[in-house]
Amino acid sequence: MSRKDVFMDMIRKIFAVVVLLSLVYCANAVERRIYPCHRLAQAPVIDGKLDDEAWQNIPEATGFYIYGGLEQYAVEKQTYFKAGWADDAIYLAVRAEENAPEKIFARLEDGGDLWLDDSMELFFFPAGAPHYTHLVANSAGKRFNERRMEFADVMNWDAKASVGKTEWFLELRIPFSVLVGIPPKEGDEWPANVARNIFTGPLDERHTSWPFLKKGFHDVPNFGRFIFKGTAGDKVIDEEKEINRAYIQYVHESIRELARYAEEYEQELAGMKKLVSGNDEAEKLLSIWKQVVKLAAQTAPDCRELMPVSRACVNLPQRSDDCVARGMMEILFKE
């Protein structure tokens, strides 16, 4: 073999290794979602209000992905959930961000095609079960139960919902008997998916899910995992940070990037506020930019402080530009 052939063979081998490593990296680029499902100290009242004391010491998960969004998180309408269990049932509490509650679709009744409403879809694959169980509940608390293509009685589990000004809420009690498999014990791990259908916009956030999925909501190999644990101790805040670590990091980096433009926008909005008296919008936007700068400077911001600011930052530069432009037009027409 000539020196040239040896060289080319080496190049081909190096290229093959690089391709292999790239494939391995891509396969593991998205974290496997894990949720510690703690035993509840007491069962919550299922009323769709989420104010029950039983939920206070349970970690909250968020960071839902846009389905088909190339590993993109939902920006305008995030979703949050808590889960806990007792001897006979698993319980869930869901908060769904919604800035247009008057547009929510909740038209169908129990047993209907509720995935065509604003709704949550739940998937559990218990140990020993021949297949996963698929449940759907809409924003009016109506229910659908499908064990693959085998329909089951939808009245075996409880779902209650309520709609607020900026969120809608869902609370569920699902007996383990509905889920077919063996009831869990501490340490057991179940594949699970919590997903959401949004019909109030934006269009690119129509379908979102807690795990990153590649083949629709029924993509079992990419489901997250619920790990059943004992009652939560005093480390719930730490657990919550770990559950949402990647999402918090993403949001924090986004806010840091946004903070690069804060000084320019603050100057423009402050100037507009002086020129146009009573400009409440400029005042509101200035307040958001100041929060952006504050959070960007922190090394490890608290998730519960970060999320409301992140929500307020949607289209912040464009909203600021529009506010300044409207102010300028107002000044021109006054003259």
User: In this predicted structure, which of 27-36, 58-67, 111-120, 193-202 has the lowest mean pLDDT?
Assistant: 27-36
- 2 conformational bin, left if phi > 0, alpha if psi -120 to 50, beta if neither: beta
Whether residue 77 contacts residue 98, with contact meaning beta carbons closer than 8 Å, is answered with yes
What pLDDT score was predicted for residue 278? Answer: 66
What pLDDT score was predicted for residue 204? Answer: 94
Q: Higher confidence at residue 146 or residue 126?
A: 126
Architecture of domain 27-243: Sandwich (2.60)
Alpha-carbon distance 101 to 296, whole Å? 31
Q: Find the Cα–Cα–Cα–Cα dihedral 163, 85, 78, 32, rounded to 10°.
A: -160
Read off the pLDDT of residues 219-269 as tens digits, 9 standing for 90 and up.
Answer: 999 999 999 999 998 889 899 999 999 999 999 999 999 999 999 999 999
Rg of the chain on CA atoms, in Å: 24
Inform me whether the pLDDT recorded for 277 exceeds 60: yes
Residue 28 pLDDT class (50, 70, 90 cuts): very low
Inform me whether the pLDDT recorded for 217 exceeds 80: yes
For the segment 122-127, the average pLDDT, to the nearest whole number, is 95
Give φ, ψ of 134 to 5 degrees. -115, 120
What residues contact residue 62 under an 8 Å CB cut-off, 6+ apart?
78, 79, 80, 81, 244, 247, 303, 307
For residue 127, give the amino acid letter.
A
Q: Domain-by-domain residue ranges, the chain?
A: 27-243, 249-334
Alpha-carbon distance 174 to 201, whole Å? 29
What pLDDT score was predicted for residue 8? Answer: 43
Shortest CA distance to 180 belongs to which of 226, 124, 220?
A: 124
Measured CA to CA in angstroms, residue 157 lies from 110, 137, 227 at distances of 11, 11, 21
Coil, strand or helix at 66: strand
For the segment 8-34, the average pLDDT, to the nearest whole number, is 48
What pLDDT score was predicted for residue 68? Answer: 87
Residue 147 pLDDT class (50, 70, 90 cuts): low
Alpha-carbon distance 130 to 147, whole Å? 10
Inform me whether the pLDDT recorded for 9 exceeds 60: no
Query: C-alpha angle with apex 206: 209 to 90, nearest 5 degrees?
Result: 35
What is the average pLDDT score of the chain? 88
Alpha-carbon distance 204 to 216, whole Å? 15
Residue 29 pLDDT class (50, 70, 90 cuts): low
Inform me whether the pLDDT recorded for 20 exceeds 80: no
Residue 155 pLDDT class (50, 70, 90 cuts): low
Q: Higher confidence at residue 148 or residue 130?
A: 130
Residue 15 pLDDT class (50, 70, 90 cuts): very low
For the segment 199-214, the average pLDDT, to the nearest whole number, is 96
